[in-house]
Amino acid sequence: MNRDWRYARRRKQFRRRRSNVRRFFDYGLSLVLLLLLAFMAGRLDRVATRTEQGRAIVNDGDTLTLGQERIRLRGIDAPEIAQTCQRAGAEYACGRMAKQALNDLVAGRHVTCKGWQRDRYGRLLAQCRAGDIVLNSALVAAGWAVAYGDYEQEEARARAARAGIWAGDFERPQDWRNLHSGQRERRHNVLGSLGDLLREMFGMR
């Protein structure tokens, strides 16, 4: 009888201690979550959409400058300035022609760019408009850039029409960079965006 009573008492004490530990753990977890939310709220400005607008200077086929901001057109990849391609058995300066294509689309118009991500060089990744023209999609549709996380339908149409660089043979710009400079750039897709979000939120640059 006494043994049963002592056993029941010990079980009750054990349950009470376990309940206290669980309660302490729950309080601690709640505190950690609150601190994490406060930290993230304090860094939301890092991922706020930025808008840049004005007269643009075209740097190459997928990069331009607005004021002090260097902007990389998001979701596309144009031939590098020094890159050459082949057409009708001859080489031509497709990198410079891609830059000229972007110049022609801008044509002195007021340019507006919106984005929040930055690439490894600190350039703002953005969708840009010159008047009613979305420069990102227009360059891919004209065949002077390839899809790089977006605009796959425009690329398919340009390839079918043999427009721009699709009229001959070329290396994709990312392959050309890897071969000639060893530079690697993340594709502008959902996975890359998630990684950039985490890096922006926690300052992992």
- The CATH number corresponding to 47-202 among 3.40.50.1970, 2.40.50.90, 3.40.50.720, 3.90.650.10 equals 2.40.50.90
Identify which has the larger pLDDT, 136 or 23: 136
The band of 194, judged by pLDDT with boundaries at 50, 70 and 90, is low
At residue 172, φ and ψ (nearest 5 deg) are: -60, 140
| CA–CA separation, 191 and 176 (whole Å) | 23
User: What SS3 state is found at 30?
Assistant: helix
Identify which has the larger pLDDT, 28 or 152: 152
Greatest Cα pair distance, the chain, in angstroms, is: 102
**Which pLDDT does position 187 carry in this prediction?**
73
pLDDT tens digits for range 2-41 = 566 666 666 766 666 666 666 666 666 666 665 555 444 4
Instruction: Read off the amino acid at residue 196.
Output: D
Residues pairing with 118 in the sheet: 124
User: What residues act catalytically?
Assistant: 72, 80, 123
**Taking all residues of the chain, what is their mean pLDDT, rounded to a whole number?**
83
Model pTM score: 0.70
For residue 37, give both structure tokens.
Answer: 């939310």
pLDDT tens digits for range 57-108 = 999 999 999 999 999 999 999 999 999 999 999 999 999 999 999 999 999 9
Per-domain residue ranges of the chain: 2-42, 47-202
**Which pLDDT does position 182 carry in this prediction?**
67
CA dist 74 → 62, 104, 185 (Å)? 8, 19, 12
**Which pLDDT does position 185 carry in this prediction?**
74
Q: For the residues of 125-194, what is the DSSP string, one character each?
A: EEEEEETTEEHHHHHHHTTSSEESSS-HHHHHHHHHHT-GGGGSB---HHHHHHHHT------SSHHHHH
Res 142 pLDDT > 50? yes
Give per-residue burial for 131-157: e unless 16+ CB within 10 Å, then b. eebbbbbbbbbbbbbbbbbbbeebbee
**Which pLDDT does position 49 carry in this prediction?**
86
